Amino acid sequence: MSDYKAGSNLEKVLKAGQFAFTGECGPPQGANIVKLKEKASHLKGCVDAVNITDNQTAVVRMSSWAASLLVQQEGIEANFQMVCRDRNRLAVQSDVLGVYSHGIRNMLCLSGDHQKFGNHPEAKNVFDIDSIQLINVVKTMRDDGKFMNGQEIDVPPKLFIGAASNPFAEPYEFRVFRLAKKIAAGADFIQTQCIYNMVLFRDFMKRVVDMGLHEKCYILAGVTPMKSVGMAQYMAKQVPGMDVPDSLIKRLKGAPKGKVGEEGIKIAVEQIMEFKEMQGVAGVHLMAIEWEHRVPEIAKLAGMLPRPTF
């Protein structure tokens, strides 16, 4: 019997005390398996696990569990994302059993963007349970071998449980407590929202460390390289809960023509280097949105290669 909760590669990396590095890959808006595999292939060997998003921004895509399986078939470990927006507790639990049965070992529990943002704003939402309750459901299934109704599970699913944290959303004072609630509910690891405001994040991590939360859970800092000034401005203004300082936009604007992307990558690498040294940070979650092919380069520049193997 191993000491692992789920035995995923990501869990092994973190438990071994290695600085973890996870990536992200959004499923296609269609059944384009070739495209999905092509995107994921860039991440192979560069990261410890790849988050497979679940109808992110409430836009219909190939289901996250199906895309997770396809990615795993390519020899890349998936971090299966699940949002509460689209599933009631029956669907939640049956999908957990389903993904585990097919070899998925990591799962990220999220509330989900409101459908208003997506391409089916007329949809009825579910939100039968919230993200913290979802964490607890998956933990109860794993550790107690029980469904939400208390019924015994015939072969419980063993998943390494992740959750998200947004240190920059308001009310700011509550964010560290919400993180604590997620950990108490059963989160094994946390992936944060994309960090741009390093001043605020350092303060957040100080509070995390003061509360000893980093000893109860692995915290992965979220990084998304800016591809352009337009992207930075869009994220600053349009994306809820995103904190993009003016100084960062200024720095991108100051980059030579045609070199803004390079500057974005440089900033991301600098961030990763700092996170490696930051107390309480156990790894980095790199969300290179539609920029998967740049991940190997970022991983190399940030000294994240080679990735540990077990």
Partner 1 sequence: MIVAEAKPISEILTMVKGLKKVLVLGCKGCVTVCNVGGAKEAGILASSIRIAGRKEGSIVEVGEHTLERQCDPEYIDEVKDLVPLYDAVVSIACGVGPQFLSERYPESRIFPGVNTKFMGGAVAHGIWSERCAGCGSCVIHYFGGLCPIARCSKSLMNGPCGGSSHGKCEISKDVDCIWDMIVRKAMDQGRMQDLLEFRPPKSWTTARDGGPRRMIREELVK
20 binds partner 1, rule: CB under 8 A: no
Residues 6+ apart with CB under 8 A from 254: 263
To partner 1, the closest distance from the beta carbon of 85 in angstroms equals 7
To partner 1, the closest distance from the beta carbon of 304 in angstroms equals 26
Residues 6+ apart with CB under 8 A from 56: 26, 81, 113
Site string for partner 1, 88-127 (x = CB under 8 A): -x---------------------xxxx-xx-------x-x
To partner 1, the closest distance from the beta carbon of 125 in angstroms equals 7
Tell me the residue ranges of DSSP E strands in 208-262.
218-223
235 binds partner 1, rule: CB under 8 A: no
Residue from 57, 133, 2 nearest 290 by CA: 57
Between CA 195 and CA 242 the distance in angstroms is: 8
Between CA 239 and CA 234 the distance in angstroms is: 7
To partner 1, the closest distance from the beta carbon of 128 in angstroms equals 7
Task: Decide: helix, strand or coil at residue 165.
Answer: strand
Between CA 130 and CA 262 the distance in angstroms is: 39
Closer residue to partner 1, CB minimum distance, 125 or 197:
125
Residues that contact partner 1, how many (by CB under 8 A): 37
Residue from 195, 152, 146 nearest 175 by CA: 195
171 binds partner 1, rule: CB under 8 A: yes
162 binds partner 1, rule: CB under 8 A: no
Out of 3, 34, 237, 240, name the contact with partner 1 by CB under 8 A. Answer: 240
- Residues near partner 1 (CB under 8 A) are 84-85, 89, 111-114, 116-117, 125, 127-133, 136-137, 148, 164-166, 169-171, 173-174, 177-178, 180-181, 184-185, 193, 240-241
